[in-house]
Amino acid sequence: MSEAPAKLVGIVLVSHSAAVAESVADLARGLTGGGTTAPVAPAGGTADGGLGTSAELVSAAAAAVDRGAGVAVLMDLGSAVLTVKALLAEGDELPENTRLIDAPFVEGAVAAVVTASAGADLAAVEAAATEAYTYRKE
Amino acid sequence: MLDADFFRRWMTAAAASVDREAERLTALDSPIGDADHGSNLQRGFRVVAATLEKESPDIPGEILQLAGRQLISTVGGASGPLYGTLLRRTGKALGDAAEVSREQLAQALRAGVEALMALGGAAPGDKTMVDTLVPAVEALGTSFEAARAAAEEGAVATTPLQARKGRASYLGERSIGHQDPGATSSALLIAALVEAAGE
């Protein structure tokens, strides 16, 4: 029996919509299969339930999934991307070793959660999620 | 010289102006955006005004950094991180001086606009806030009044442009003929600056 890795990379999924962020988190967890699943937190919509991005929800989600192995943040578009970039530039709003992952939202989230659940480090999680850009559908 | 009171007046005037113009900003955002620019900025600047009433640093740079942080936290749309970054970076560039000159402010705002452009990836001519802010900050080197005129001119000049950034860019040629909401709110921000200067 192999030893479980001590620390897993955390995944944050930022969408304009709370429902989208939660559903994509469910999807990614569901496709991960049995065994340990990396911590995943959705951060969707504004704090009052509307469409948009809440910096506070993003910060809280990142703190919730931080196990000390780094946090990978995936976003859908527009203000979600700009908010994460602005928070990273701030310096103290997100856990140390938080990284913006430039990847397609759904495919990247699945790749990131599967990879992180297997115990990969942050760089490998990022590589897997980013590679999702190359999966052609036709 | 511009002291902490000046910068508080600027932020208070900006909040009042966004409050007055929120409906117009949202109306401009309806045909080419998602019809939330006015309400988003209104929420953000109300928090800025309330925060500055509670805790008011005596350092101009700190006031702008505090305001910028509130905008990033509370706006909910792309304008939050963009204006938040503009104010925060401008505040950082002002350092811990208790008073600054108009020229120093223009210099600091230039750094702020550069940070905003780096974050959003927009260049002049893309039909964004950049079309207002770049000429306004340039003109601020001359006078407050020149900055206001340049900002207004820049905002109006976005009407014939085709959007190349943000949600409006999905509309392609159909974005032509509408004044950009972000360029319009940027002109309000500059007008509030001039109002704070009492000119």
Position A82 in a domain: yes
Position A1 in a domain: no
Whole-number Å distance between alpha carbons of A61 and B199: 46
The residue-averaged pLDDT of A24-39 equals 92
Q: Count of domains in chain A?
A: 1
Residues in A lying within 8 Å of B, measured between beta carbons: 46-47, 50-56, 78-79, 82-83, 85-87, 89-90
Whole-number Å distance between alpha carbons of A112 and A29: 10
Top residue of A73, A81, A83, A85 to mutate, by most chain B CBs within 10 Å, is: A83
| Cβ-contact A75, A47 below 8 angstroms | no
Q: State residue A1's pLDDT score.
A: 44
Domain locations in chain B as residue ranges: 2-196
B90: which residues sit within 8 A by CB, 6+ positions away? B64, B68, B105, B108, B109, B111, B112
CB neighbours of residue B180 within 10 Å: 32
Q: Do B78 and A82 touch (CB under 8 A)?
A: yes
Query: What does pLDDT average to over chain B?
Result: 95
Residues of A in contact with B40 (CB under 8 A): 52
**Nearest Cα residue to B37 out of B79, B86, B81:** B79
Q: What tens digit of pLDDT does each residue of B64-74 get?
A: 999 999 999 99
CATH of the domain at A15: 3.40.50.510
Whole-number Å distance between alpha carbons of A14 and A26: 14
Fold of B2-196: 1.25.40
Residues in chain B: 199
Which residues form the domain of A120?
10-133
Position A32 in a domain: yes
Which amino acid makes up residue A117? S
Q: What tens digit of pLDDT does each residue of B147-173 get?
A: 999 999 999 999 999 999 888 888 989
Q: Do A82 and B167 touch (CB under 8 A)?
A: no
Q: State residue A3's pLDDT score.
A: 53
Quote the tokens at residue A113. Answer: 């959660």
Position A138 in a domain: no
Q: Does B76 touch chain A (CB under 8 A)?
A: yes
Residue A103 predicted with pLDDT over 60: yes
Q: Does B121 touch chain A (CB under 8 A)?
A: no
Q: What tens digit of pLDDT does each residue of A55-94 get?
A: 999 999 999 999 999 999 999 998 999 999 999 987 788 9
Top residue of B40, B42, B73 to mutate, by most chain A CBs within 10 Å, is: B73
Q: State residue A5's pLDDT score.
A: 52
Confidence (pTM): 0.91
